[in-house]
Amino acid sequence: MNLRPVRKLQLSYELARGAATARHGTPVTDSDYEPDLLIGDDDVDVYKPDGSWLLSNRVAVYDPDQYKDLVKLVATMRGGVDGRRGNAVHRDAKLPLLCKDGTVSGSRIHHVPKLRSLGDAASFRFGYSGRDPLNPYARKTGDWEHYPEVFGEMLELFRTLDSKYREIAPEAHSRQSEAARNSPWTIQDTCFSSVTVNRNWQSALHTDDGNFGPAVATVLTKGEPKGADLAFLQYFLPVRLRPGNVLVADTRDEFHGNTALYGVLGKTYRISFFAYLHDSTLRCGSFEEEAGRRERWKKKRDRNA
């Protein structure tokens, strides 16, 4: 358990909700956050202007070297930015080249094409999916089905995130654990139904309105990536996720997105992990019941084909 003093940050101003909503799906710009508010190198609990909790950041709560092989695994996974999760991505995001002195190259020749064409950028989801209009039955995520060995390698990190969540925000963890207690659709020994794993991914401004509670996040890196700060638009607040740190944040209700990521294509990797409990899984039945729903849906689909 972390016994270091925890700073309390009470925010005093915010953007009107309507103005934040109007920015949904757009990239984070320099004017969207206040650099002096940057969260990243200290233990801090942040509260909204109305006094309600926004996020908690804890520093060096696990050894990232213990999970360094995960970066290599995720770097080799096939994926892209298209698909149903692509709407959270700013299509004009770029991964420019860093010079040897750490500055960003000014040569357009070295700039990577739009994120849609960037092979190094991908988003994956491990765990379970609840019922949805396209697939009206609960199931393992497709990425878990495709990469079962990778899921096995990641499981210890997922359990670490659950353990740190319990330490950082015990009341929220207790509520979430109780909500998931009777659901089989949670990752073993955690209160999470799913973990989204992003590789060099710039997320546009959005909310995670399908989640039960807060998201629990960390990153693993290789090649010293720059940028990709997580900005909470309504409060002009940037958070710099670092290996070994854990963030618990209200991403369900608050608009958030990432600034641009800088690095060397093929050598720079920033792997983020966002663990959460999705509401949809709490409304599903047992494995057997959902398997039955799947078979009935398949038969109906085949009859109508």
Per-residue pLDDT tens digits for 89-113: 444 444 455 565 656 555 544 443 3
Cα torsion at 121, 199, 284, 156 (round to 10°)? 160
The yes-or-no verdict on residue 240 having pLDDT over 80 is yes
Instruction: Report which residue type is found at 121.
Output: A
For residue 263, the 8-state DSSP code is -
For residue 183, report the phi and psi dihedrals to the nearest 5 degrees.
-100, 130
pLDDT: which is higher, 4 or 155: 155
The yes-or-no verdict on residue 23 having pLDDT over 60 is yes
The yes-or-no verdict on residue 117 having pLDDT over 50 is no
Residues 128-134: what's their mean pLDDT?
93
| Percent of the chain's residues with pLDDT above 90 | 70
Give the pairing type, strands 44-47 and 7-10. parallel
**CA-based R_g, the chain, Å:** 19
For residue 265, report the phi and psi dihedrals to the nearest 5 degrees.
-55, 125
Q: Is 4 helix (H, G, I), strand (E, B) or coil?
A: coil
**Rounded to the nearest 5 degrees, what angle is found at the Cα of 16, between the Cα atoms of 10 and 20?**
100
What confidence score (pLDDT) does residue 297 get? 94
Domains of the chain: residue spans and CATH: 7-304 (3.60.130.30)
Phi-psi region of 200 (alpha: psi -120 to 50; beta: other; left: phi over 0): left
Contact 187, 262 (CB under 8 A): no
What confidence score (pLDDT) does residue 97 get? 54
Any bridge partners for residue 203, and if so which?
89
Burial 13-36 (b: 16+ CB within 10 A, else e): ebeeeeebeebeeebbeeebbeee
Contact 121, 81 (CB under 8 A): yes
pTM of the model: 0.88
List pLDDT tens digits, range 200-223: 888 888 999 999 999 999 999 998
Report the alpha-carbon distance of residue 279 to residue 288 in Å, rounded: 20
Contact 253, 21 (CB under 8 A): no
